[in-house]
Amino acid sequence: MSPRVRLRDVAAAAATSPKTVSRVINGDPRVSEATRDRVRRAVLDLGYQPDPLARSLRRGTDDTIGVVVDSVADPFFASVAGQIERIALPKGITVMIASTNRDQEHEREVLERMAQRRVAGLIVAPISGDHAHLAGLSCPVVFVDRRATGMEADSVVVDDHGGAHAAVRHLVDHGHRRIAFVGHEPELDTLRRRLAGYRAALHEAGITEEFLVASSPDRDEIVHATADLLASRRPPTAIFSPSTRSSMRVLPVLHRLGRLDVGFVAFGDLPLADSLTPGVTVIDHAPEVVGRLAAARLMDRIAGRPLPTEVITAPLRLIPRGSGEVPA
């Protein structure tokens, strides 16, 4: 529309210099009340709005934070991202979201691009195994869901070991002794921890028999492996699904086969989990909490508050809905 109002236009209208207008805009106290008022009026009259690009170029940093996750289409990360946005926006911080699609090369590219844009900070669900290359980024980084390795940075995670332990313990308490872990992804630190929690719970209960399906939830193999396992001569009486993605593949199998007698507990909540029959017992993954904690910590870092590097653990809770309470 109108050709864009600049600082100098406001300055002219307020009969002062651009720098003084800049001071008023940025809340510098060293401006007289009278001038300040004139400037404020001019700003309103002309509908002036600062140019974020020019400002960032000069300042060397942008009022933007980057969020890099596996995929925005993943409900867990979508919730995390939504929460971050909710916290950042009121502070005048813009959020840029990007997906890695679980591809290391892609992750690198996306991060580089954000760094190039001089983002003030990054929240990353890292997919690469070693994050040393991220140490070179000149802005604070907070990891979510998976913790930092190879560099000093805060991470906001959930208690993978404890959550898995609680889930399996819950099944044991309902009489199950043959419990499968379906959907292992050994390349993910998170999953390895959940596997350890599963094993610890078995061990504690004096169970030595382990059922492990290590097919990735992204491939159809998991479907067949699960069906085969249930059809085997000595099948498990319960399944622990260590990730939402795994649950989305395994639950349909159970329902298709009508195997609703099989105990089932999932790590990560699911939409419609309480409309299934039986309802799906889950360890709630608390994406909102993860998002909130990560955003808060990043703000602290951007503000330069001196804090020790930390692994922040979001609390988990078990939500019994039926599938985890079927007897063995």
The count of other CB atoms within 10 Å of the CB of residue 109 is 13
**Residue 328 found at the interface with DNA (CB under 7 A):** no
Strand, coil or helix: 311: strand
Q: Which does 6 bind (CB under 5 to 8 A by kind): DNA, a second copy, none?
A: DNA
Q: What is the CA radius of gyration of the chain?
A: 26
How many Å apart are CA 238 and CA 171, to the nearest integer? 7
Which residues here bind a second copy, judged by CB under 8 A?
1, 49-54, 56-57, 62, 71-75, 78-79, 81-82, 85-86, 89, 94-99, 101, 110, 112-113, 116-118, 136, 138, 248, 251-252, 254-255, 270-277
For tokens 């922040």, name the residue.
312
**Residue 55 found at the interface with DNA (CB under 7 A):** yes
**Residue 41 found at the interface with DNA (CB under 7 A):** no
Report in angstroms the alpha-carbon separations of 202 from 131, 169, 172, 206, 277: 33, 8, 8, 6, 27
Which CB sits closer to DNA, 54 or 135? 54
How many Å apart are CA 226 and CA 213, to the nearest integer? 7
Strand, coil or helix: 162: helix
| Backbone dihedral angles phi then psi of residue 66, each to the nearest 5 degrees | -100, 140
Which CB sits closer to a second copy, 86 or 177? 86
**b/e map 280-307, b = 16+ CB within 10 Å:** bbbbbbbbebbbbbbbebbbbbbeeeee
How many Å apart are CA 269 and CA 285, to the nearest integer? 6
**Residue 26 found at the interface with DNA (CB under 7 A):** yes
Preceding omega of 278 cis (within 30 degrees of 0): yes
Stretch that binds DNA, among 4-12, 181-189, 193-201, 236-244 (CB under 7 A): 4-12
Which residue from 37, 51, 209, 218 is in contact with DNA, where contact means CB under 7 A? Answer: 51
**Residue 57 found at the interface with DNA (CB under 7 A):** yes
Least separation in angstroms between residue 90's CB and DNA is 19
Q: How many CA within 13 A on the CB side of residue 295?
A: 25
Which residue from 37, 45, 54, 73 is in contact with DNA, where contact means CB under 7 A? Answer: 54
Which CB sits closer to a second copy, 27 or 90? 90
Pattern 227-266, DNA, x by CB under 7 A:
----------------------------------------
Q: Which does 34 bind (CB under 5 to 8 A by kind): DNA, a second copy, none?
A: DNA
Which CB sits closer to DNA, 25 or 312? 25
Least separation in angstroms between residue 3's CB and a second copy is 10
Report in angstroms the alpha-carbon separations of 212 from 129, 190, 250: 23, 16, 14
Least separation in angstroms between residue 31's CB and DNA is 4
**Residue 4 found at the interface with DNA (CB under 7 A):** yes
How many Å apart are CA 180 and CA 232, to the nearest integer? 13
Which CB sits closer to DNA, 59 or 317? 59
Stretch that binds DNA, among 53-61, 83-91, 233-241, 308-316 (CB under 7 A): 53-61
**Residue 30 found at the interface with DNA (CB under 7 A):** yes
The count of other CB atoms within 10 Å of the CB of residue 174 is 18
Q: Could you tell me which residues come within 8 angstroms of residue 190 by beta carbon, excluding any fewer than 6 positions away? A: 145, 146, 157, 160
**Residue 32 found at the interface with DNA (CB under 7 A):** yes
> Which residues in this chain contact DNA in the complex, by CB under 7 A?
4, 6-8, 16-20, 22-23, 25-26, 29-32, 34-36, 48, 50-51, 54-55, 57-60
